[in-house]
Structure 1
């Protein structure tokens, strides 16, 4: 009852009324509020820890990818017949009339290769490849970094380097103010199936978030209506 319950104490067979005991609703509210706050605090701490762990794992994964690529590129530069300087950027090596050879600089971008013998596999001509035949999800990712053809000028006589499947050229990105930015344009000239085009594009997309002194970051991708894509760095 709201008025409380009577309390009686017996001493030597004599009963004494000492008062009443009432239910304190205030303390109950405090206990409930404390429990609720404790649960909320635990959820916040748990979510924060999960977020920190996820960020750490993502950063570790990205660092591992960049370290592996840096190792591959370092080995490639050591075995290259082109002269290069560890302190030089590929943009400083661009001179009018320069072609591939002893005066060219080494391209420090991604090296593309397949897992089997390229020379033994039959090649597909680039003009037979249409971009609409590529993976839909991949095209959606590429769409975020697409560069219109009119914004890219390639110096086809200025070669930075060559590989099994493509050539890297000097080029220029042209913005809306007609300002030109020097860049490297990676092409894919030799393929045996469309899966290699997918891999070539995915490697370019991976470079979008790179911030490493030995690896160029992605500036964009140009998809021609016919032929093979170009990765701009």
Structure 2
């Protein structure tokens, strides 16, 4: 293939821009905020699960307290009714004695139920403390996620702006390469990651290998507009003032 040397030199500019675009894409995929977001989101999910379990525990305990309050209230109502009957003095002595015994039993029962109610209320307070702790953890994770998301979006916006500039510059450079040479370059870039490399100090900057003497003689004898390829890596080899020929 033949191409003016100035067109070939443009490939080095094009390769530089493509390398920059690849670096920007890699940077966008590997922002530290992305990895941290994944880790924090996982922690947040676990904290949210703990919060749900804690909320269910509080709800169950509150129902138990409500039932205990109902049991105590029932005993109180029955006690008040028996006390009224005892105070009225109606009924036989045996009946009144029975009421007195029942009141004693109800008093013991009320004391037991109130102890249970108090214990359950203390349990609810403890469970509410746990729930508050889990809720606070979720809120902290949410705040960190929002912070990381904002930082990620800011970085991505900056990267996107750089990509737009580089893409515009690439289009201008590619226009001066020519369709035939550009097609070869693009094919090689798809295959090897980079399509063109400068020959510097008798070394291909694409594969990093120094060319042997016979290859250097061939390159030196080639016409200026001859499109050369590195025998080792196959990339388009661009001769420059630093080639060492």
TM-score (norm 2): 0.32
Tell which has more relative contact order, 1 or 2 (C-alpha 8 A, sep 6+). Answer: 2
Which TM-score applies when normalising by structure 1? Answer: 0.33
Bigger Rg, structure 1 or 2 = 2
Greater helix proportion: 2
